[in-house]
Structure 1
């Protein structure tokens, strides 16, 4: 029992440490593209992410996330169309959780996985985690299917029953944050592309009039964000 409790504590610490690093990478990369106002987006998304954390459900935070993105300046058409797709395919937190949980069960059951098997497991989880419902315990179905592929006893799922609710909270909050960041980046990319197209059209027109072309206007952080 003491050994199992120690393994669970290690799972807690390592999983949330990984999520912290993942959040830092997401925010850092977004800051390089969006700029300093990424801190505003992070503050605005904190409320939906907290709701997802407390309910262990990213679906519960969907309306709030959509509303915050629109307030931040994302086009309602882009947000309302792409965000539901992200909820099915951009599941960074779910992928991380399923990977940790599967390896944890394998180690607890004394099942050795070679490096090749671990890589194969990651590839399988990348596919099977897509379309996962954003509700509590939905990841257990994906984990059970993956265990069967590597001859890991499915009875090991019992070891997760006590810790799954606490780990599921971090998974849900990470999914919300990654989806919000992805939508903001795609909106910035579209805005810059549109601005470049307009600038090119104006330059072509002004060249014909022997006038100096104006500077291309790129996306700027909204003042009311």
Structure 2
């Protein structure tokens, strides 16, 4: 099923590019464009809402059940420390790579495009990291409110308490743990049904993006986009190299093969949520225990956005270069530290990367109107950074499972072993 979904998604992406380009070349009436894109957005929006319907109960059930199955509360603390430690290291690497490549390639120098006036509004609400608000927002005022809002980090906090409490009361929690396991299986079965709509949603999303912007916009910003995707490719290579060191070349190839489908879903829809259930299944098939994937993945949604963090540093420096503003090494090091914090604080904000960039521009006195330069191609860039987030979280889950000594064999490997016997 997973292989067929991958093929269907690839076909839908190609068909979407062709249809979108055809519509872009033949329809120029603004009202007709708005009508068609609105109709296409229904398909994409419906798919994403179906996914959001699954996320909260799936995260809650897998995390409570996973922690309860651990039994040893000290193991939870150890796994949590290893997870956060890797997230911090990955954050430093991704932001540094973004700064390094934008300084080498310098895509904003000699851009050849009219720059937006420095006082022009970019249309984004300002959001600034406030430590007090961030800490208070970790704890839900009601678990039902957190579930209703898909507030992943709040769900993780409550589910962690619930899982630890289950281990504390022992056998009395057995009915609850069984219920959580059953709920997780139910959500994954629903996921299988929803994923059958993924190629349709991908087709609609790609068609709409190419129809509105046209392929010409890719040529105009080709150097900027090419530089960013080159930096992403290097980050992918580093993540693959880390996986090779941790589990060996053969298993690393298996991992990337297993997460191919969720990567394509995230890439084509520019939604990490859309890929979450399939990533969870792919990691389980690879051999990562559900209790590990169910713990690491939700945390990754707020603390391990590798592609998004790289984009924040890359895009901020691009805008500074476009306006001829030089930032010293010290200032860029300060930017790295700032992005380390702010990228965690507003991960649930819609178009979070743009909001983080906007606040970073203001901090370094770079015209915030420069954000208008990248809005036209943000959808195409969002695809790359969202897909990268999936890869980063999959590698993180694998590493934690390996460090815990509980990484199992993949279904493919198990099948081969059985056949050989």
TM-score tier, shorter chain, comes to 0.7 to 0.9
Instruction: Give the equivalent residue in structure 1 for 2:362.
Output: 148
Instruction: Give the equivalent residue in structure 1 for 2:244.
Output: 31
Alignment of 1:2-81 (within 5 A): 3-4=112-113, 8-35=221-248, 36-81=250-295
Q: Write the distance in 1 (CA, Å) between the matches of 2:346 and 2:273.
A: 11
Q: Deviations over 1:95-154 (max 9, x none)?
A: 110011100111112222111111111111111111544786221110111011000111
Alignment of 1:1-225 (within 5 A): 3-4=112-113, 8-35=221-248, 36-133=250-347, 137-191=351-405, 221-224=409-412
Instruction: Give the equivalent residue in structure 1 for 2:82.
Output: none
Q: Write the distance in 2 (CA, Å) between the matches of 1:7 and 1:142.
A: 25
Check 1:75–1:130 CA distance in 2 against 1; reply closer, same or farther (3 A cut). Answer: same
Please state how far the C-alpha of 1:78 moved relative to its aligned partner.
Answer: 1.4
Any stretches of 5+ residues in structure 2 without a counterpart?
Answer: 1-109, 114-216, 414-421
Scaled by the length of structure 1, the TM-score of the pair is 0.82
Q: Deviations over 1:40-81 (max 9, x none)?
A: 110110110111101111121111101111111111111112
- The structure carrying a bigger helix percent of its residues is 2
> What is the count of residue pairs matched by the alignment?
199
Please state how far the C-alpha of 1:170 moved relative to its aligned partner.
Answer: 0.5
CA contact (8 A) 2:288 2:408 kept: no
CA contact (8 A) 1:45 1:65 kept: yes
CA contact (8 A) 2:289 2:408 kept: no
Instruction: Give the equivalent residue in structure 2 for 1:211.
Output: none
User: In structure 1, the residue corresponding to 2:405 is in which secondary structure?
Assistant: helix
Q: Write the distance in 1 (CA, Å) between the matches of 2:351 and 2:343.
A: 13
User: In structure 2, the residue corresponding to 1:27 is in which secondary structure?
Assistant: helix
Q: Write the distance in 2 (CA, Å) between the matches of 1:106 and 1:115.
A: 14
CA contact (8 A) 1:105 1:156 kept: yes
Please state how far the C-alpha of 1:191 moved relative to its aligned partner.
Answer: 1.5
Q: Write the distance in 1 (CA, Å) between the matches of 2:348 and 2:390.
A: 10
Scaled by the length of structure 2, the TM-score of the pair is 0.45
Instruction: Give the equivalent residue in structure 1 for 2:214.
Output: none
Please state how far the C-alpha of 1:10 moved relative to its aligned partner.
Answer: 2.0
User: In structure 1, the residue corresponding to 2:327 is in which secondary structure?
Assistant: coil
Q: Deviations over 1:171-197 (max 9, x none)?
A: 0000000100110111011116xxxxx
